[in-house]
Amino acid sequence: MAVHTLRKPWAVPLVVLGLIVFIGIVITFDYIVLLFDPATDNAIDFEVPSFDKATGKYSTSNPQLIPKILHQTWKNETVPEQWKTAQASCLDLHPDFEYKLWTDASSRDFIEQEYPWFLETFDSYPFPIMRADAIRYFVLNHFGGIYIDLDEGCVSRLDPLLTYPAWVRKADPTGISNSVMGSTPHHPFFMRVMLELKNYDFQWGVPYITVMYATGPLFLSVIWKQFKRWAVTDSEQLWILMPAEPGASYFNDLHGSSWHEDDAKWIKYLGLHWLFFTIIGFMIAAVFGFTSYLVMRRIYYPRVAMKYKYLGQE
């Protein structure tokens, strides 16, 4: 390092400060872009499938891509009374779909059999909801189909949703939700999600934040933002089911057990307090910068400092 650079007392703290700000932006970039999440380009419109009386089958204008499988999760085989109506509404509308209810036990067996590299992470999750989050990404990747939260009732046949290679539902007011999702097997988005789970397995001290960031909708939204930057072809796009219009919806949200309902609100809170956090950030940076300046001055101008000391003693 050139000596004359070091002699400028502000040079080193400035470079360090610049690096900290840069790294900070890189780390939080995907969370920041979520705050400015516009209505999405790949929106799915509501469509009523047509029913052919002759064949007794429903059809859509586009070919079916996603296999007719419904996935749901519960801790065991006993679905509680309050969710039975919702569960039945989906089953009754789709008698031609295969149905898989993933329990704690069958989920673990599945991971152990098919994705043993993930079993340790899966077992180490501190909250059962995290396993319930993870298993839905794995089964969608493995079998394809549509995952539906147990507190979501079905209002309409889902056939039109089978014509998109992969889709998730928009969360209000920002990001995407993991409450209802559909995919073809081995779609690049859910492959990515599955592989990234390990990288995001971090405990934040506060349970809610851990769940949200490690496996829940915030995690999914961040991977979605990253994926949007990589995805190239149409078949790789992730499609977004927008909030339902009255009378034009596939699902009927009973808002029951959903642990994740507040996630989007929390992101929104951060958004609303954006200015506040920015100002705090700049204040911390200013204090840091000024302190480093003092330290550097001390180091690189010892003579000056000593002279002051000397004069002070006089």
Which residues are near ligand NAG by CB under 6 A?
A: 76-78
Neighbours of 252 (CB within 10 A): 16
The dihedral sign for the CA sequence 164, 131, 205, 265? positive
Q: CB-wise, 77 or 92, nearer to ligand NAG? A: 77
- Specify the pairing of strand 145-148 against strand 176-183: antiparallel
Secondary structure element (H or E) that encloses residue 252, with its range:
strand 251-253
Tokens of 34: 């979520």
Distance, C-alpha 244 to centroid of its chain: 21
In the complex, what is the shortest distance from the CB of residue 16 to ligand NAG, in angstroms, rounded to a whole number?
Answer: 54
In the complex, what is the shortest distance from the CB of residue 76 to ligand NAG, in angstroms, rounded to a whole number?
Answer: 4
Tell me how far apart the alpha carbons of residues 131 and 127 are, in angstroms, rounded to a whole number: 7
Q: CB-wise, 55 or 78, nearer to ligand NAG? A: 78
Q: CB-wise, 30 or 104, nearer to ligand NAG? A: 104
Q: CB-wise, 18 or 80, nearer to ligand NAG? A: 80
In the complex, what is the shortest distance from the CB of residue 135 to ligand NAG, in angstroms, rounded to a whole number?
Answer: 17
Q: CB-wise, 131 or 192, nearer to ligand NAG? A: 131
In the complex, what is the shortest distance from the CB of residue 101 to ligand NAG, in angstroms, rounded to a whole number?
Answer: 11
- Burial per residue of 92-107, b for 16 or more beta-carbon CB atoms within 10 angstroms, e otherwise: ebbeebeebebeeeeb
Residue 78 per-residue DSSP state: -
Tell me how far apart the alpha carbons of residues 54 and 271 are, in angstroms, rounded to a whole number: 54
Q: CB-wise, 61 or 78, nearer to ligand NAG? A: 78
In the complex, what is the shortest distance from the CB of residue 102 to ligand NAG, in angstroms, rounded to a whole number?
Answer: 14
Tokens of 217: 């909708």
In the complex, what is the shortest distance from the CB of residue 103 to ligand NAG, in angstroms, rounded to a whole number?
Answer: 9
DSSP collapsed to 3 states, 180-203? EEEECCCCHHHHHHHHHCCCCCCC
Residue linked to tokens 């992101």: 267
Q: CB-wise, 77 or 314, nearer to ligand NAG? A: 77
In the complex, what is the shortest distance from the CB of residue 74 to ligand NAG, in angstroms, rounded to a whole number?
Answer: 8
In the complex, what is the shortest distance from the CB of residue 77 to ligand NAG, in angstroms, rounded to a whole number?
Answer: 5
Distance, C-alpha 55 to centroid of its chain: 41
Closest of 260, 274, 259, 165 to residue 221, by C-alpha = 260
Q: CB-wise, 18 or 128, nearer to ligand NAG? A: 128
Tell me how far apart the alpha carbons of residues 225 and 176 are, in angstroms, rounded to a whole number: 10
Neighbours of 246 (CB within 10 A): 5
